[in-house]
Amino acid sequence: MPRYTPPSHAASEITPRALFDSRRAFIRSAGLGSIALAAGALGLGRAASALAAQKFGALERSPFSTDEKQTPYKDVTNYNNFYEFGTDKREPAQSAQSLRLRPWTVTLDGLVARPRTLDIDSILRLAPLEERIYRMRCVEGWSMVVPWLGIPLAALLKQVEPLGSARYVEFQSLHDPAQMPATRLRVLDWPYTEGLRLDEAMHPLTIMALGLYGEELPRQNGAPLRLVVPWKYGYKGAKSIVRIRFVEREPATSWMRAGPSEYGFYSNVNPGVDHPRWSQATERRLGEFLKRKTLMFNGYAEQVGQLYAGMDLRRNF
């Protein structure tokens, strides 16, 4: 991955300010149940209404949320890494718009008692949707604060009753060359694959995100569902997931295959372990000028530090 380059937006890519402000104001003022109407009026379509039906107005803000300033919607949705839709950060906001979101299923299999294929709308009903305002840190040196909507990943994983022999979880993104022409260039080994240790996957901070900023997840951010692991570098957060496999051994990931010395399996945010080509000590928040210090585990050390007790985090980077 290249290093940080500040975002710049063509005027056409930016959600018109007036529309965005009115949508935010509407979402804030709308009571329970009115969001479906808003979604319809704004042309957000069926999927947004399905989300809306799911207790939109009654969203709980998770106590894990940060109260730091949220990164503007236009940056979160116009500065994306989604290589299936091109390697330029401004590309997915345009080229991902044709991705079909329904029907969409996720297969959970491997070392489980009850393998299942679940429809996206049934996943939406598994647990109450929560707002999780998380700090996100990309390995390239930029960071964001994103108000995700999601469910604990554990709520999804428990559906299939993992066996005692399952120690890791592998996540696979959709790989459909017809919808994702950029995958004809083999910049990565498709499908995009990521992995977590089972205890990391079951940790309460780990979520399956289904939305952001009070609305359905935009396609460029990984609709209809993507992984969010806030104490790890952003590339762990596989987008547009279609398969979750429980395995015994540490799974190979797309980035590890692309550069084993650069992208380790753990990928914990760690200012003390530099990327071979650049320092990881500081970061730049999108929309800000000055750099800030990067915190161990992206500031979530209190919650996740014990997962790595006794591990050499230089070797397990």
| Site residues (vs ligand MTE, CB under 6 A) | 80-84, 138, 173, 192, 221-222, 234-235, 237-240
From the centroid of its chain, how far is CA 61? Answer: 18
Report the interhelical angle of 17-29 vs 34-41 (nearest 10°): 160
Q: 106, 151 in Cβ contact below 8 A? A: no
Least gap, CB of 287 to ligand MTE (angstroms): 13
In whole angstroms, what is the distance from residue 307 CA to residue 312 CA? 12
Residue carrying the six token digits 């901070």: 205
Query: 49 or 71, CB closer to ligand MTE?
Result: 71
Least gap, CB of 220 to ligand MTE (angstroms): 6
CA atoms within 13 A on the CB side of 228: 29
Least gap, CB of 15 to ligand MTE (angstroms): 15
Query: 111 or 300, CB closer to ligand MTE?
Result: 300
Least gap, CB of 100 to ligand MTE (angstroms): 15
Query: 147 or 237, CB closer to ligand MTE?
Result: 237
**Torsion-angle region of residue 298: left (phi > 0), alpha (psi -120 to 50) or beta?**
left
Query: 36 or 79, CB closer to ligand MTE?
Result: 79
Least gap, CB of 255 to ligand MTE (angstroms): 8
SS3 119: strand
Residue 38 tokens read as 């808003």
Residue 287 tokens read as 């929309």
Least gap, CB of 41 to ligand MTE (angstroms): 26
In whole angstroms, what is the distance from residue 157 CA to residue 256 CA? 24
Query: 162 or 200, CB closer to ligand MTE?
Result: 200
Query: 54 or 183, CB closer to ligand MTE?
Result: 183
In whole angstroms, what is the distance from residue 131 CA to residue 134 CA? 9
